[in-house]
């Protein structure tokens, strides 16, 4: 009889956002007259930029003619896109990353879940707490996390690095030595980040201790402060210790278009084995490239028109972020984030748990957010609101919260 991967059985309960969807659906059924505003899941609402739409139409037309039809894409992605990425995301920032160190993918979620595959089973992972759940869950599925303690909601073999009000949301070097360190900066869900100088300390720490940093920079486009790095490769020595994951979902509204990329520098090695070669082998064996049309859409993100249009889109969402932050402060809440990221992280009032606050907000203000505890044990007592709604909905939601 065939046997299943028993690690899947260890995964607790259902995915955070499924639980939220069920609660909202039950509330809607019981209260069909209520107008719900969703500032929960991190999905964007603004349409694709005109430059992107134009590029996609052109690419669709190419696919309709034999002379310009495109079949299988090159393994790492089309050069036109990898060159644009290398130029704008790296060379322009003084980072020495070349086009052939960039692997185009169908999104950072896939990459952040798949990257652990090229590492052995007996690596110890460290994660910020709270953080995007995919890092831990993908390692659970691979059997790298030990035993789950339902009471503390932690895994025995995962090193948690609490990021709370107490340490200003800056992860501290853990007591135990990790092999793989996941950093999501600016952070989802807290919306906070660390300075370039602080990131440099992490790079030095990883190089000294022989750890690899998996750096998720999905929210990079929202950085507004000068002392924050847009890429980990702005730090000295990151080429020998860091893999960087990037997404088009938030900087260009590609959540439904699906495009991302991963940088694996050629200098990043385990003894004499190149991780670049390993990731290339995985890419070539288990993936067949992002669609031609989507890669052309990605190229348009870097065109002068595309950059101009997307700067405005980011500004639109960040205006929402200011409205949320200012409104909540006025209403007496303790609030974080929203400066370098489209997420607002608030301390739940009184002694309310994250889920209690979720229920309260849904029932009394008809506003949907995300309970902080869904992102890790140190997220308990916090709550996430996102700036990805429309301006009108964001205003309305905050008015409701103020009037509670």
Collapsing DSSP states into helix, strand and coil, what is residue 298?
helix
Residue 72, interface with its own copies (CB under 8 A)? yes
Query: Nearer to its own copies by C-beta: 106 or 356?
Result: 106
In a 13 Å sphere around the CA of 58, the CA atoms on its Cβ side amount to: 11
Q: How far is the CB of 251 from its own copies (least distance, A)?
A: 14
Q: How far is the CB of 363 from its own copies (least distance, A)?
A: 26
| Whether the Cβ atoms of residue 108 and residue 260 lie closer than 8 Å to each other | yes
| Whether the Cβ atoms of residue 36 and residue 27 lie closer than 8 Å to each other | yes
Task: Determine the length of the chain.
Answer: 404
Residue 13, interface with its own copies (CB under 8 A)? no
Residue 179, interface with its own copies (CB under 8 A)? yes
Collapsing DSSP states into helix, strand and coil, what is residue 193?
coil
Region binding its own copies by CB under 8 A among candidate stretches 36-44, 195-203, 330-338, 349-357: 36-44
Among 25, 47, 87, 96, binds its own copies (CB under 8 A): 47
Q: Is the peptide bond before 34 cis (omega within 30 degrees of 0)?
A: no
| Whether the Cβ atoms of residue 336 and residue 190 lie closer than 8 Å to each other | yes
Between CA 239 and CA 243 the distance in angstroms is 8
Residue 322, interface with its own copies (CB under 8 A)? no
CA 81 to chain centre: 21
Angle, CA of 173, 175 and 177, to the nearest 5°: 80
Among 3, 29, 30, 175, binds its own copies (CB under 8 A): 3
Q: For residue 296, give every residue at least 6 positions away whose Cβ sits within 8 Å of its Cβ, in sequence order, or none.
A: 55, 56, 58, 59, 80, 81
Among 127, 159, 185, 212, binds its own copies (CB under 8 A): 212
Subset of 328-357 contacting its own copies (CB under 8 A): none
| Whether the Cβ atoms of residue 353 and residue 381 lie closer than 8 Å to each other | yes
Residue 290, interface with its own copies (CB under 8 A)? yes
Contact map string, positions 126 to 155, toward its own copies, x by CB under 8 A:
--------x--xx--x--------------
Residue 156, interface with its own copies (CB under 8 A)? no
Query: Nearer to its own copies by C-beta: 181 or 328?
Result: 181
The torsion angle over the Cα atoms of residues 337, 343, 345 and 346, rounded to 10 degrees, is 110
Strand 343-347 vs strand 382-386: parallel, antiparallel, or unpaired?
A: antiparallel
User: How many CB atoms are located within 10 Å of the residue 174 CB?
Assistant: 15
Q: How far is the CB of 59 from its own copies (least distance, A)?
A: 9
Q: Total number of residues binding its own copies (CB under 8 A)?
A: 78
Residue 207, interface with its own copies (CB under 8 A)? no
| Whether the Cβ atoms of residue 109 and residue 134 lie closer than 8 Å to each other | yes
Contact map string, positions 51 to 70, toward its own copies, x by CB under 8 A:
--x--xx--xx-xxxx--xx
Q: Is the peptide bond before 189 cis (omega within 30 degrees of 0)?
A: yes
Region binding its own copies by CB under 8 A among candidate stretches 87-95, 115-123, 228-236, 363-371: 115-123
Q: How far is the CB of 373 from its own copies (least distance, A)?
A: 19
Residue 275, interface with its own copies (CB under 8 A)? yes
Query: Nearer to its own copies by C-beta: 18 or 236?
Result: 18
Subset of 363-402 contacting its own copies (CB under 8 A): 390
Identify which of 66, 61, 102, 96 has the alpha carbon closest to the alpha carbon of residue 81: 102
Query: Nearer to its own copies by C-beta: 20 or 335?
Result: 20
Q: How far is the CB of 52 from its own copies (least distance, A)?
A: 8
Query: Nearer to its own copies by C-beta: 126 or 346?
Result: 126
Collapsing DSSP states into helix, strand and coil, what is residue 173?
coil
Residue 224, interface with its own copies (CB under 8 A)? no
Subset of 291-320 contacting its own copies (CB under 8 A): 291-294
Among 39, 99, 126, 180, binds its own copies (CB under 8 A): 180
């Amino acid at each position: 009889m065939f046997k299943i991967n028993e690690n899947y059985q260890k995964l607790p309960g259902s995915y955070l956002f499924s639980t939220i969807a069920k609660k909202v659906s039950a509330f809607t059924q019981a209260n069909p007259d209520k107008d719900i505003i969703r500032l929960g899941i991190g999905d964007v609402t603004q349409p694709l930029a005109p430059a992107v739409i134009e590029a996609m139409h052109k690419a669709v037309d190419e696919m309709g003619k034999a002379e310009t039809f495109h079949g299988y894409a090159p393994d790492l992605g089309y050069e036109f896109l990898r060159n644009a990425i290398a130029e704008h995301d790296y060379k322009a920032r003084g980072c020495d990353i070349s086009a052939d160190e960039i692997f185009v993918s169908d999104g950072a979620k896939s990459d952040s879940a798949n990257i652990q595959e090229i590492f052995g089973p007996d690596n110890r992972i460290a994660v910020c707490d709270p953080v995007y759940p995919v890092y831990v869950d993908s390692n659970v599925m691979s059997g790298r996390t030990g035993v789950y303690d339902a009471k503390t909601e932690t895994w025995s073999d995962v090193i948690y690095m609490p990021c709370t009000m107490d340490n200003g949301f800056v992860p501290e070097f853990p007591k135990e030595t990790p092999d793989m360190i996941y950093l999501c900066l600016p952070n989802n869900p807290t919306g906070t980040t660390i300075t370039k100088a602080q990131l440099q300390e992490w790079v030095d720490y990883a190089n000294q201790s022989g750890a690899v940093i998996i750096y998720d920079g999905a929210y990079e486009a929202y950085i507004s402060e000068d002392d924050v790095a847009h890429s980990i490769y702005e730090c000295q020595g990151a080429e020998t210790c860091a893999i960087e994951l990037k997404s088009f979902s938030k900087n260009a509204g590609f959540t439904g278009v699906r495009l991302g990329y991963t940088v694996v520098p050629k200098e990043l090695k385990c003894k004499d084995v190149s991780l670049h070669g390993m990731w290339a082998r995985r890419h070539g064996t288990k993936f067949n490239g992002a669609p031609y049309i989507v890669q052309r859409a990605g190229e348009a993100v870097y065109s002068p028109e595309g950059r101009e249009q997307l700067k405005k889109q980011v500004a639109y969402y960040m205006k929402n972020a200011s409205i949320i932050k200012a409104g909540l402060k006025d209403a007496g809440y303790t609030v974080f984030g929203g400066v370098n990221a489209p997420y607002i992280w608030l301390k739940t009032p009184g002694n309310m748990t994250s889920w209690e606050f979720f229920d309260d907000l849904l029932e009394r203000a008809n506003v949907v957010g995300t309970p902080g505890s869904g992102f890790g044990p140190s997220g308990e007592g916090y709550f996430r609101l996102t700036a990805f709604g429309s301006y009108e909905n964001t205003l309305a939601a905050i008015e409701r919260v103020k009037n509670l």
